[in-house]
C-alpha cells in the first residue's frame, strides 16, 4: 500500500495521461502520434532512470535495447500475430536478455569506462544492423511487414488480413491513432507504477546505495554487482518495451534507433527532466519530443504571419531572427535550452517545478501541502 | 494566416476528440477523425505536407526542395510567373488552386532518419490535416514514409530517392516517384562509358554499405559487365566513414583501371575528393588512363567536392543548363525568386507537387484512389525531361536520363556539370516485374 | 575462552619486501584486541588479509570455523565480520536512517535479494532497529539528515551504528579516531567502551596510545611484519622489545 | 607487403587526427575534471577557421556584366577576389595557401574561444556531476554547430591543399619496392608530421615549463596544488584554451582531407571519447598511443583480405578494440586509478 502522497501522485499521473489529448491540444501536441511518442519515450526514460538515477551507472548504449525491442516486435508481427500483446511481451523479454548480456560484461567496469563499454556495444549493434545483419534487420530501410508474412497465430485463429497490409490490433482494436496512444498510455502508467514501487522499496534503497558508496556496500555484506545488473536488466526491459510499442503503433524498425545519438537522447531526457526523480524523465522525454516535432514544423511563411502585426521593416528582421530558432533551426533552441536549464536549474525541470511549488506554498500558507513532494 | 488556420483546426479536432471521448466505444474504432477519406478537405483550402531534411547532412538539399515546393504552391495558386505550368502538357491547372481550393502547406524535418521522417509525416497527417506528403532526400526515408502514407491513406509523392526499391521491392499503391533509379542510371551510363573508356576495362567498386549502395552497385555491375568490363572487386564502406583512404589505397595496385564510387551525399564528396588526392586520375594502368565514375551526381554535392569533379562521368535526373523551354522557364522562375539556379532535388519535387495537383484536378477529387488512377499511365511533357510516363504497374516515371560530366572550366559555383548525353527513355526502360514487389490496392483511409 | 579469529603462519611479500613474516594471532571472543606498531610495521597489510583485500602468500585466517581467505568482502561480512574504516565510509547522499537500514536489510536478506515491491515504509521492524541503533550512538534526532554533511565524529558514530545494527561477531576498527580532535576522540572512545561492554569482539588497529590503553583487553605489537609481543596492556608498556621497536633502537 | 605499408600510412594520418583531438580532451579531463562534449565542436570550429580564411581571401569584387545574362535572366556577375585585385600574384599565392595560413589565425581565435568558453561556462561546472557537464557541453556543441550551419550551410565546403602539396610522394624505391608502388598524398604526410609536431610541443610544454609542471601537478592532485597557494584556476583557463587550440589546429589542417561541414564535430566526438578511454583517462601518452593504434587497426580492418574473413569488421573495429582493451586492462592502456571511475 503506497503512502498517501504516492497515491496522489499516481492518481494525478493517471489523470494527466487519460486527459492528454485535451490537455496538450492547446499547445499543438494533442495529436496521436506525438502523444504516443510522449508515452513511449516516457517509458524509455523512466527505465533509463532506474539505472542512471538510482545506481549512477551512465549507460550510453541504451538505444540498443530499444532497437532490439522494435526488431523483436516486428518479427513477432511477421511470424506470429498482429496482436500487440505477444509483441510487447517478447520485446520486453529480448530487451532484457540483451541487456543481461551487455550488462554482465559492461558492469565489470565503473564510471566512464562503463559508459564507453555500453556505447561500444550499442554502436556495434547499430553498425551491424545497418549493414551486415540486413537479412534480419532490413538495413537502412528498416524492417517492415509484408503481405506474405506467415503470421501463424493469426492464421490459426482464422484472422486473414487479405491483400491489405495489416496494422497491429488488439482483438480488433487498431493500434493507430488515439487507441494506440491509450494502449501506450496504459503501459506508461503500469511502468510508472512499477518504477514507483521500486523507488520506494528496499531494493530501490540498495540501488541508491550502489550510487552512493560501493565500497561501503561491499563491507556491509551486500553484493553490488547483481544489484547493478538487475537495475540494468530492468531498464533494458523498459527500453525493450518502449521499442516494442514503437513498433506496435508504427510497424517499422529502423537501425538508426540504435545509434549513439538515440542513446544520448535518453540521457538528455533524463537529465533535463531531473535524474533520480520519478516524474522528471517523463517530463524530459515530452519536452524533447515536443521540440523535435513542433518547433521543427515552423516555416518562414508561418513566422511571417506571426509577426504580421509588426511594420514591414521590422517584420523581415523579426522573421529572420526567429527562424534561427525554429524550423530548420530547432536544434539551436534545444541546445540553448540544455545550457540554460543546466545552469539555472541544476536538478533539471523537476527542480524548477519544486521551486515553483515552494514559492506557491510560501505565498499561500498551508495551501499546497499535499502537493509538497510531487516526486522524490 | 496559416497560424490562424492551425488553432481553428485544433479547436475542431478537440471537439471531435471530445465527442469521441464521450461516446466511449467510438473512440476505439480509429475512424473517429476520418471522413470519406483521410483528411478530406472541408474548407476553402487543401493542405500539402512537405517533408524534407532540414537538419543533418542533406539539409541544404532539403532547403532547396522546400524552395521548389513554395514556388510550386505559388504557381498552382496563380501567383508568380507560373513557371513550368506554362509548358506543362496538361492544362488542367488554371492557377486557381486545385479543385477550387487554395493550396496551403505545412513543413517538417525528416532529419534523414526513418523514425523522424515518419513522426513528422504523421504530425502533418494527424494534426495538420495534410492531404498528401512529399519530399525527402534518401531512399530509406522514402520507403519508410511511403509505407506510412499507404497505411494512413494519403498519397506520397517521393522526393529525391534513387534506390530501385522505392518503386520495386517496397512499392506501394499510394506512392509515386518522378525521380529515376539505379537501374536507369546503369542503363544510361553504360553506353557512355563504353564510348569514352572502351570495352576492355576492369572496374573497382566502392559502395556505401546500405540498400541504395548495393542497388547502385548491382545495376552498374550488371550493365558494365554486359559491355565486357570485368569487376575487380566490390568493397563495402561504412556510411559516413569520413576518411576513405583505407579503402582507396588498395585500389592503387589492384589492377583495376576504373573506380566506381557508389556513394551519395557526404560520402561521395569525401570519397571522390580523396580518390583524386591519391592521384588516381593521373595514374596509368594497363596502358590506359585510370578513370573515376560517380553514378549518381548531384550539383549540390559536386559543389562540396570542388575541383575533384572535373571530367568525371555520372548521371542526374535533371540539370538547370538544359535548353528546352520547360527547363528554361523553371530556371527563370526559380532563379528570379532565389537568385541561383535550382538543383535536381528542387526540380523533381517541383514536378511532383505539380503532378499531384494536376492529377487531383483532373480526377476532380483528392481521394487517393482517384488521384492515383489519374496518375497511372499518365503521359505528359513539358516538365523538363521530355515526354514522360507514370507507369501504371509500378508508379515510376519513365523519361530520358541525363549523363553528365564535371565541367573543366566552370563559370560559376553553380556551373559544375555539363550534359554529355541525353539517354532516350526507350533505352532505360525495363519490365516492371524485374524489380519485384507488389503495389497492392489503394488505401483511402476511410 | 574460545578464540574466534585464528591467524596462523601468515606471510606476505611485496616484491622483495617482506610485509608479513609468519604472523600468528589468536583473538578471543568477547575481548577488545588492539594491534599496534610503528609505521610500516604491517598493520594495514594484516588487516587487509582479514577482509579479503589481500591474499597472503601462505598461512590461514580462520574466523569462527570459516576461512576468510579467497572470499569476497561481502561474504566476509555475511559470516559476521564488520569493519569501520580509517576515513568513515558512509552512504554520503542518503539519510542517516537509510544508512542504518541498509546494513539491517543486508543482515536479514543476505547479500542480494530483489525486494522491490514492499515499500521501505512498511518494513517497520527494520526501521525500528535502525532508529534504536541511531539512538544508541546519539544520532537519532539527525535521522533525516543527509549523511555526507555530518562532522567526522558523527560520521564515525554513524558508521559504528551501521556495523552494530548487523550484530557482528567481530568488529574490525582501523584507526577509529584518526583525524579527530581531542574532544571528538574522547567521545568516540566512550562510545567504543560502551559497545565493548555489550561483549562484542573487537580488533582495533591504532596509532594513538591513549585510545589503545583506554580500550584494549589485550595488545599485539607488530614490527617489521612480525608479532614481537602480545600481552595485557599494562605489561606491554614495560616490554623492552616494544620500546626498542617504537624508539627504533635510538639511544637518546 | 606494399599494401600493408600503405595501410600503416593511412593509419598514421588518421591516427594523427584522433590523437590530436583526444589529447585536448584528455587534458581537459585530467586537469579540470570536465567531460567536454563540446570538444568535437572545437575541432569543427578549427576547420571553419580555415573555411573563413579562404572565404575572406576570396572575397569578391562584384561587377555586373550587362552583356551576359544568366539562365534566369539577370546580368552575369563577374567576380574577382579583392586579394588578387590588390596584391596580384602574391594574393593568388596567399589564396592558394589559405589552409596553412589559417593555422596562424586559428591559434588566437581558438585560444580566445576556449578562454571565453571556460570563463563563461565550463568553470561553473567543475564541481557539478558529470551528467550536468555532459548536458551543458552537449548543449553548447549543438548551439555552436547550429550557428555555423546558419552561416555556412549544411553542405561540405571544399578546402584544397596548396597546389604544391597536392601531389604524391613516391616511397617505392626508398623502402625497397618498385617505383610507383608506394605513393602517398603529400598533404596527408604533412598532416601526420604536423600532428607529431603539435604533440611534441604539447608534451614539451607540459614537461619543461613551470607552467606545465604546475598543470601536471594539478592533474595529479588538484586540491594539494590549490593549497600551495598557486592560482590554479587561471592556469586551468589557459589549459582549456590550449586544448581548444590543439583541437582547432587539428581541424583546420584536416580540411583538405575531409571537406568540412557543420556536423563533422559530432562524428569525431564519439570516436575521440573512445580513443581517450582506450588510452586511459587522464593519460596524455595513452591518448596519443590509442589514437595511432586505433587509426592503424581501423585501416587494417578495412582491407579486403580481412573483411572477407570477418564481414563488417571495419564497421565495428574501433568499438571492438575498445571493449577488448577495457576488459583486459581495466583502466585502458595507461589510465590512472581513480580517475573518472566514480
Count H helices, E strands: chain C?
9, 10
CB–CB contact D261 B266 (8 Å): yes
Predicted confidence band at D228 (pLDDT cuts at 50, 70, 90)? low
pLDDT attached to residue A370? 39
Predicted confidence band at D223 (pLDDT cuts at 50, 70, 90)? low
The conformational region for residue A94 under phi > 0 = left, psi -120 to 50 = alpha, else beta, is alpha
Q: How many CB atoms sit inside 10 A of residue C17's CB?
A: 10
pLDDT at C36 over 70: yes
Angstrom distance (rounded) from CA B216 to CA B218: 5
On the question of a common fold for B34-180+321-399 and B183-316, the answer reads yes
Q: Are A153 and A80 in contact (CB under 8 A)?
A: yes
- Comparing CA positions, the residue from D102, D92, D113, D91 lying closest to residue D260 is D102
CB–CB contact A299 B107 (8 Å): yes
The full set of domain ranges for chain B reads 34-180+321-399, 183-316
What is the overall mean pLDDT for chain A?
A: 89
> What φ, ψ does residue D69 adopt, rounded to 5°?
-120, 150
Predicted confidence band at B18 (pLDDT cuts at 50, 70, 90)? very low
Tracing cell 542480494 back to the chain, one arrives at: C112
pLDDT at C128 over 50: yes
**H/E element, A331:** helix A330-344
Residue numbers in A near D150 (CB within 8 A): 324, 329, 332
D315 Cβ under 8 Å from any chain A Cβ: yes
pLDDT attached to residue B397? 96
pLDDT, tens only, A137-149: 988 888 888 877 8
Mutation target for A interface from C47, C75, C105, C150: give the one with most A CBs within 10 A.
Answer: C105
**Which set of grid coordinates corresponds to residue B361?**
484536378
Query: What average pLDDT does this structure show over A111-116?
Result: 88
Interface subset of A 136-195, CB within 8 angstroms of D: none
CB–CB contact A343 D124 (8 Å): yes
Is residue C72 located within the same domain as residue C101? no
Strand partners, A201: none
Angstrom distance (rounded) from CA C195 to CA C206: 17
What is the overall mean pLDDT for chain B?
A: 88
CA A29 to chain centre: 17
> What SS3 state is found at B385?
coil
Query: What average pLDDT does this structure show over D268-275?
Result: 87
Query: What average pLDDT does this structure show over D316-339?
Result: 85
Predicted confidence band at D61 (pLDDT cuts at 50, 70, 90)? confident
pLDDT attached to residue B29? 38
CATH 3.40.1360.10 describes domain B34-180+321-399: no
If one counts the domains in chain C, the total is 2
Query: What average pLDDT does this structure show over C209-222?
Result: 89
Q: How many CB atoms sit inside 10 A of residue D1's CB?
A: 10
Which residue has better confidence, A160 or C75?
C75
Lowest mean pLDDT among C50-59, D38-47, D238-247: C50-59
Domains of chain A: 4-259 (1.10.3470)
Angle (deg, nearest 10), helices A260-273 and A32-49: 80
The conformational region for residue A346 under phi > 0 = left, psi -120 to 50 = alpha, else beta, is alpha
Compare CB distances from A328 to B109, B139, B150 and report the shortest one's residue: B109
Hey, which of A308-322, C89-103, D252-266 has the most confident mean pLDDT?
C89-103
Lowest mean pLDDT among A90-104, B3-17, B228-242, B383-397: B3-17
Predicted confidence band at B295 (pLDDT cuts at 50, 70, 90)? very high
> What SS3 state is found at A140?
coil
Is residue C114 located within the same domain as residue C55? no
**Which set of grid coordinates corresponds to residue B57?**
547532412
D307 Cβ under 8 Å from any chain B Cβ: yes
The CATH topology of domain B183-316 is: Rossmann fold (3.40.50)
Q: Name A279's Cβ contacts closer than 8 Å, sequence gap at least 6.
A: A9, A13, A273, A350, A374, A375
Query: What average pLDDT does this structure show over B171-178?
Result: 95
Hey, which of A237-241, C54-58, D137-141, D234-238 has the most confident mean pLDDT?
A237-241
Hey, which of D166-180, D193-207, D321-335 has the most confident mean pLDDT?
D193-207
pLDDT, tens only, B358-402: 999 999 999 999 999 999 999 999 999 999 999 999 999 999 999
pLDDT at C135 over 90: yes
Query: What average pLDDT does this structure show over B144-151?
Result: 92
Query: What average pLDDT does this structure show over C181-202?
Result: 89
Is residue C23 located within the same domain as residue C7? yes
Residue B229 half-sphere exposure toward CB, CA atoms < 13 A: 27
Strand partners, B48: B105, B132
pLDDT, tens only, D189-204: 999 999 999 999 999 9
Angstrom distance (rounded) from CA B315 to CA B296: 5
pLDDT, tens only, D13-29: 899 999 999 999 988 88
**Which set of grid coordinates corresponds to residue D103?**
593555422
Q: Are A75 and A143 in contact (CB under 8 A)?
A: yes
ipTM of the complex: 0.88
Q: How many CB atoms sit inside 10 A of residue D115's CB?
A: 16
Last residue within a domain, chosen from C167, C189, C217: C167
What is the overall mean pLDDT for chain D?
A: 86
CB–CB contact A254 B144 (8 Å): yes
Query: What average pLDDT does this structure show over B118-147?
Result: 92
Domain extent, residue C156, equals: 88-167
Predicted confidence band at B229 (pLDDT cuts at 50, 70, 90)? very high
Q: What is the CATH number of the domain that holds C31?
A: 3.40.50.300
pLDDT attached to residue B307? 87
Strand partners, D60: D81
Q: Name B73's Cβ contacts closer than 8 Å, sequence gap at least 6.
A: B48, B103, B104, B105, B353
Q: State what percent of residues in chain D have pLDDT above 90.
A: 35
Residue numbers in A near B210 (CB within 8 A): 130-131, 139-140
| Distances A266 to A230, A275, A286, B251 between C-alpha atoms, Å | 19, 11, 11, 42
Query: What average pLDDT does this structure show over A82-108?
Result: 96
pLDDT at B5 over 80: no
Angstrom distance (rounded) from CA D192 to CA D203: 17
Query: What average pLDDT does this structure show over A218-236?
Result: 96
Neighbours, chain C (3 or more CB pairs < 8 A): A
User: CA of A345: which chain D residue's CA is closest?
Assistant: D132
Q: Name C111's Cβ contacts closer than 8 Å, sequence gap at least 6.
A: A221, A222, A223, C74, C75, C77, C78
Chain C residue set in contact with A, beta carbons under 8 Å: 51, 72-74, 77-78, 82-83, 85, 89-94, 98, 101-103, 105-107, 109-123, 126, 162, 166
CB–CB contact D2 B233 (8 Å): no
CB–CB contact D168 B300 (8 Å): no
> What φ, ψ does residue C211 adopt, rounded to 5°?
-65, -45
User: CA of C119: which chain A residue's CA is closest?
Assistant: A201
CB–CB contact B328 D13 (8 Å): no
Residue numbers in A near C110 (CB within 8 A): 221
Predicted confidence band at B282 (pLDDT cuts at 50, 70, 90)? confident
The conformational region for residue C110 under phi > 0 = left, psi -120 to 50 = alpha, else beta, is left
Strands B230-237, B258-262: pairing is unpaired
pLDDT at B316 over 90: yes
Neighbours, chain D (3 or more CB pairs < 8 A): A, B
Interface subset of D 49-78, CB within 8 angstroms of B: 70-74, 77
User: CA of A104: which chain D residue's CA is closest?
Assistant: D327
CA D71 to chain centre: 41
pLDDT attached to residue C149? 93
Query: What average pLDDT does this structure show over B146-155?
Result: 92
pLDDT attached to residue D112? 96
Domain annotation covers residue C8:
yes
Q: Name A374's Cβ contacts closer than 8 Å, sequence gap at least 6.
A: A9, A279, A350, A353, A354, A357
Predicted confidence band at A168 (pLDDT cuts at 50, 70, 90)? confident
Domain annotation covers residue C184:
no
Amino acid at each position: 500500500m503506497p503512502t498517501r502522497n504516492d497515491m496522489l501522485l499516481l492518481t494525478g499521473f493517471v489523470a494527466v495521461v487519460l486527459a492528454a489529448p485535451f490537455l496538450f491540444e492547446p499547445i499543438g501536441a494533442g495529436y496521436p502520434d506525438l502523444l504516443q511518442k510522449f508515452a513511449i519515450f516516457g517509458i524509455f526514460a523512466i527505465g533509463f532512470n532506474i539505472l542512471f538515477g538510482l545506481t549512477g551507472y551512465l549507460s550510453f548504449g541504451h538505444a540498443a535495447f530499444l532497437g532490439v525491442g522494435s526488431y523483436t516486435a516486428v518479427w513477432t508481427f511477421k511470424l506470429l500475430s498482429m496482436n500487440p500483446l505477444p509483441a510487447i511481451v517478447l520485446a520486453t523479454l529480448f530487451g532484457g536478455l540483451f541487456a543481461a548480456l551487455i550488462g554482465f560484461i559492461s558492469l565489470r567496469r565503473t564510471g566512464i569506462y562503463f559508459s564507453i563499454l555500453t556505447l561500444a556495444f550499442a554502436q556495434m549493434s547499430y553498425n551491424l544492423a545497418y549493414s551486415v545483419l540486413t537479412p534480419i534487420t532490413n538495413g537502412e530501410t528498416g524492417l517492415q511487414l509484408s503481405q506474405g508474412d506467415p503470421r501463424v497465430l493469426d492464421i490459426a485463429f482464422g484472422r486473414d488480413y487479405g491483400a491489405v497490409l495489416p496494422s497491429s490490433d488488439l482483438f480488433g482494436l487498431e493500434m493507430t491513432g488515439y487507441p494506440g496512444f491509450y494502449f501506450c498510455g496504459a503501459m506508461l502508467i503500469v511502468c510508472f507504477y512499477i518504477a514507483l514501487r521500486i523507488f520506494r522499496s528496499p531494493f530501490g534503497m540498495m540501488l541508491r546505495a550502489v550510487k552512493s558508496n560501493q565500497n561501503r556496500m561491499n563491507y556491509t555484506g551486500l553484493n553490488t554487482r547483481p544489484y547493478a545488473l538487475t537495475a540494468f536488466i530492468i531498464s533494458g526491459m523498459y527500453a525493450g518495451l518502449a521499442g516494442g510499442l514503437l513498433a506496435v503503433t508504427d510497424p517499422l524498425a529502423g537501425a538508426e534507433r540504435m545509434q549513439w545519438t538515440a542513446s544520448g537522447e535518453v540521457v538528455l531526457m533524463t537529465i533535463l527532466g531531473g535524474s533520480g526523480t520519478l516524474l522528471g524523465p517523463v517530463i524530459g522525454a515530452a519536452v524533447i519530443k515536443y521540440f523535435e516535432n513542433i518547433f521543427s514544423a515552423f516555416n518562414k511563411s508561418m513566422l511571417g504571419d506571426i509577426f504580421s502585426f509588426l511594420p514591414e521593416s521590422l517584420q523581415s528582421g523579426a522573421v529572420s531572427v526567429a527562424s534561427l530558432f525554429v524550423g530548420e533551426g530547432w536544434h539551436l533552441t534545444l541546445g540553448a535550452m540544455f545550457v540554460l536549464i543546466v545552469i539555472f536549474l541544476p536538478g533539471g525541470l523537476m527542480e524548477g517545478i519544486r521551486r515553483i511549488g515552494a514559492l506557491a506554498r510560501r505565498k499561500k500558507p498551508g495551501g499546497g501541502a499535499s502537493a509538497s513532494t510531487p516526486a522524490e | 494566416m496559416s497560424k490562424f488556420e492551425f488553432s481553428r483546426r485544433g479547436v475542431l479536432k478537440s471537439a471531435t476528440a471530445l465527442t469521441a471521448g464521450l461516446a466511449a466505444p467510438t473512440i476505439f474504432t480509429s475512424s473517429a477523425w476520418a471522413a470519406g477519406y483521410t483528411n478530406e478537405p472541408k474548407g476553402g483550402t487543401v493542405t500539402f505536407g512537405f517533408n524534407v531534411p532540414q537538419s543533418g547532412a542533406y539539409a541544404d538539399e532539403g532547403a532547396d526542395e522546400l524552395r521548389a515546393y513554395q514556388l510550386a504552391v505559388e504557381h498552382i495558386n496563380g501567383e508568380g510567373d507560373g513557371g513550368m505550368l506554362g509548358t506543362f502538357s496538361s492544362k488542367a491547372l488554371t492557377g486557381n488552386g486545385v479543385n477550387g481550393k487554395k493550396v496551403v502547406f505545412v513543413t517538417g524535418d525528416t532529419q534523414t532518419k526513418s523514425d523522424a521522417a515518419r513522426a513528422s509525416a504523421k504530425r502533418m497527417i494527424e494534426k495538420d490535416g495534410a492531404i498528401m506528403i512529399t519530399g525527402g532526400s534518401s531512399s530509406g526515408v522514402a520507403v519508410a514514409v511511403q509505407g506510412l502514407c499507404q497505411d494512413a491513406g494519403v498519397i506520397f509523392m517521393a522526393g529525391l530517392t534513387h534506390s530501385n526499391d522505392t518503386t520495386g521491392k517496397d512499392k506501394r499503391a499510394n506512392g509515386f516517384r518522378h525521380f529515376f533509379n539505379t537501374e536507369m542510371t546503369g542503363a544510361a551510363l553504360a553506353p557512355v562509358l563504353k564510348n569514352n573508356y572502351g570495352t576492355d576495362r576492369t572496374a573497382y567498386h566502392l559502395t556505401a554499405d546500405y540498400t541504395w549502395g548495393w542497388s547502385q552497385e548491382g545495376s552498374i555491375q550488371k550493365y558494365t559487365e554486359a559491355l565486357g568490363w570485368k569487376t575487380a572487386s566490390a568493397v563495402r564502406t561504412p556510411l559516413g566513414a569520413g576518411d576513405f583512404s583505407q579503402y582507396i589505397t588498395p585500389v592503387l595496385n589492384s589492377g583495376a583501371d576504373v573506380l566506381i564510387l557508389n556513394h551519395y551525399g557526404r560520402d561521395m564528396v569525401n570519397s571522390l575528393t580523396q580518390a583524386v588526392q591519391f592521384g588516381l586520375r593521373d595514374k596509368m594502368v594497363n596502358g590506359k588512363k585510370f578513370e573515376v565514375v560517380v553514378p549518381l551526381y548531384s550539383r549540390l554535392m559536386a559543389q562540396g567536392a570542388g575541383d575533384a569533379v572535373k571530367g568525371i562521368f555520372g548521371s542526374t535526373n535533371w540539370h538547370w543548363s538544359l535548353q528546352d523551354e520547360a527547363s528554361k522557364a523553371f530556371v527563370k522562375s526559380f532563379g528570379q525568386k532565389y537568385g541561383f539556379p535550382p538543383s535536381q532535388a528542387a526540380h523533381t519535387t517541383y514536378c511532383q507537387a505539380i503532378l499531384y495537383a494536376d492529377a487531383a484536378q483532373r480526377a476532380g477529387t483528392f481521394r487517393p484512389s482517384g488521384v492515383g488512377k489519374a496518375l497511372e499511365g499518365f503521359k505528359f511533357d513539358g516538365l523538363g525531361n521530355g515526354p514522360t510516363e507514370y507507369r501504371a504497374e509500378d508508379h515510376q516515371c519513365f523519361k530520358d536520363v541525363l549523363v553528365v560530366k564535371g565541367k573543366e572550366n566552370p563559370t560559376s559555383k553553380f556551373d559544375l556539370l555539363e550534359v554529355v548525353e541525353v539517354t532516350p527513355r526507350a533505352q532505360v526502360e525495363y519490365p516492371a516485374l524485374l524489380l519485384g514487389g507488389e503495389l497492392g490496392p489503394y488505401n483511402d483511409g476511410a | 575462552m574460545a578464540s574466534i579469529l585464528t591467524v596462523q603462519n601468515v606471510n606476505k611479500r611485496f616484491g622483495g619486501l617482506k610485509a608479513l613474516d609468519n604472523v600468528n594471532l589468536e583473538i578471543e571472543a568477547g575481548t577488545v584486541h588492539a594491534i599496534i606498531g610503528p609505521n610500516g610495521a604491517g598493520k594495514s597489510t594484516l588487516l587487509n588479509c582479514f577482509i579479503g583485500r589481500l591474499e597472503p602468500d601462505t598461512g590461514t585466517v580462520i574466523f569462527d570455523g570459516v576461512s576468510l581467505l579467497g572470499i569476497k568482502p561481502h561474504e566476509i561480512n555475511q559470516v559476521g565480520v564488520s569493519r569501520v574504516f580509517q576515513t568513515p565510509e558512509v552512504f554520503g547522499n542518503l539519510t542517516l536512517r537509510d544508512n542504518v537500514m541498509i546494513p539491517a536489510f543486508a543482515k536479514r536478506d543476505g547479500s542480494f535479494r530483489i525486494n522491490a515491491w514492499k515499500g521501505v515504509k512498511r518494513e517497520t521492524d527494520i526501521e525500528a532497529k535502525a532508529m534504536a541503533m541511531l539512538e544508541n550512538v546519539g544520532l537519532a534526532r539527525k535521522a533525516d539528515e543527509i549523511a555526507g554533511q555530518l562532522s567526522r565524529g558523527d560520521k564515525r558514530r554513524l558508521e559504528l551504528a551501521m556495523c552494530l545494527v548487523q550484530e557482528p561477531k567481530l568488529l574490525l576498527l582501523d584507526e577509529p579516531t584518526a583525524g579527530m580532535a581531542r574532544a571528538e576522540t574522547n567521545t568516540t572512545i566512550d562510545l567504543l567502551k560502551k559497545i565493548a561492554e555489550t561483549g562484542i569482539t573487537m580488533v582495533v588497529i591504532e596509532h594513538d596510545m591513549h585510545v589503545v590503553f583506554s580500550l584494549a583487553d589485550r595488545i599485539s605489537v607488530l614490527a617489521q611484519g612480525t608479532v614481537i609481543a602480545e600481552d595485557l596492556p599494562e605489561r606491554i608498556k614495560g616490554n623492552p622489545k616494544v620500546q626498542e621497536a617504537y624508539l627504533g633502537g635510538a639511544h637518546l | 607487403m606494399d599494401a600493408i605499408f600503405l595501410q600503416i600510412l593511412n593509419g598514421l594520418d588518421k591516427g594523427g587526427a584522433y590523437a590530436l583531438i583526444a589529447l585536448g580532451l584528455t587534458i581537459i579531463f585530467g586537469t579540470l575534471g570536465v567531460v567536454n562534449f563540446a570538444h568535437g565542436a572545437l575541432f569543427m570550429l578549427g576547420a571553419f577557421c580555415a573555411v573563413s580564411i579562404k572565404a575572406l581571401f576570396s572575397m569578391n569584387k562584384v561587377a555586373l556584366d550587362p552583356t551576359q545574362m544568366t539562365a534566369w535572366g539577370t546580368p552575369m556577375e563577374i567576380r574577382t577576389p579583392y586579394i588578387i585585385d590588390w596584391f596580384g600574384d602574391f594574393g593568388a599565392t596567399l589564396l592558394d595557401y589559405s589552409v596553412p595560413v589559417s593555422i596562424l589565425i586559428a591559434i588566437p581565435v581558438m585560444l580566445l574561444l576556449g578562454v571565453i568558453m571556460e570563463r563563461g561556462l565550463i568553470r561553473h561546472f567543475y564541481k557539478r556531476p558529470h551528467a550536468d557537464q555532459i548536458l551543458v557541453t552537449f548543449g553548447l556543441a549543438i548551439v555552436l554547430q547550429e550557428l555555423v550551419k546558419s552561416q555556412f550551410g549544411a553542405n561540405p565546403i571544399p578546402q584544397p591543399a596548396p597546389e604544391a602539396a597536392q601531389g604524391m610522394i613516391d616511397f617505392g624505391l626508398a623502402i625497397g619496392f618498385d617505383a610507383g608502388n608506394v605513393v602517398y598524398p603529400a598533404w596527408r604526410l604533412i598532416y601526420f608530421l604536423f600532428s607529431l609536431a603539435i604533440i611534441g610541443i604539447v608534451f614539451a610544454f607540459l614537461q619543461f615549463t613551470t607552467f606545465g609542471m604546475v598543470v601536471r601537478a594539478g592533474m595529479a592532485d588538484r586540491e594539494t596544488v590549490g593549497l600551495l597557494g598557486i592560482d590554479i584556476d587561471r592556469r586551468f583557463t589557459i589549459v582549456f584554451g590550449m586544448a581548444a587550440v590543439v583541437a582547432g589546429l587539428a581541424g583546420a589542417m584536416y580540411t583538405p582531407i575531409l571537406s568540412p561541414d557543420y556536423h563533422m564535430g559530432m562524428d569525431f566526438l564519439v570516436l575521440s571519447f573512445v580513443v581517450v578511454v582506450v588510452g586511459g583517462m587522464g593519460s596524455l601518452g595513452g591518448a596519443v598511443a590509442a589514437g595511432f593504434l586505433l587509426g592503424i587497426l581501423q585501416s587494417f580492418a578495412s582491407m579486403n583480405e580481412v573483411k572477407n574473413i570477418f564481414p563488417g569488421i571495419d564497421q565495428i573495429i574501433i568499438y571492438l578494440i575498445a571493449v577488448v582493451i577495457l576488459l583486459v586492462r581495466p583502466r585502458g592502456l595507461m589510465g590512472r586509478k581513480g580517475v573518472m571511475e566514480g
